[in-house]
Amino acid sequence: MNRHRETKEQLLPKGWFVSDAEKAIQFYNELQRELPKGHILYRKEVCVIAHRGATDDILCQHKDDKTHFTVIHLTWSGKEEKGTDYPYVEYDGNFNDFLEYENRFLGNET
């Protein structure tokens, strides 16, 4: 495991887990199946770095801007969603603001 990933794992809020390669691919593939044209992640290059254990939320890091993160709630429909509201965007911004979002709205400790 590289140093960057270890640091992120230590910083993840309670209930979030670093996605191993197999899980990351599984989540990424489902994300790609669900994304409709016009969604904020449509045709964006991202990698899944973490998932929330009790939900279908994934944390994506943008490849073109490593400081940009998006939390997506997958529907697991296995097909493209209708409209751009799904898969639902829980959060979009930088990592520190993601941590604050988790604390403020979900009550998790970092």
> In this predicted model, what pLDDT tens digit does every residue of 75-105 receive, in sequence order?
999 999 999 999 999 999 999 999 999 988 7
Pairing assessment for the beta strands 88-93 and 16-18 based on DSSP bridges: unpaired
Per-domain residue ranges for the chain? 3-106
pLDDT of 74: 98
> What is the value of pTM for the model shown?
0.86
29-61 per-position pLDDT tens digit:
999 999 999 999 999 999 999 999 889 999 999
* Residue 65 token pair: 């801007």
pLDDT at position 107, please? 66
Give the burial class of 44: count Cβ atoms within 10 A of its Cβ; 0-12 exposed, 13-18 middle, 19 or more buried: middle
63 contact partners, CB below 8 Å, separation of at least 6: 45, 46, 47
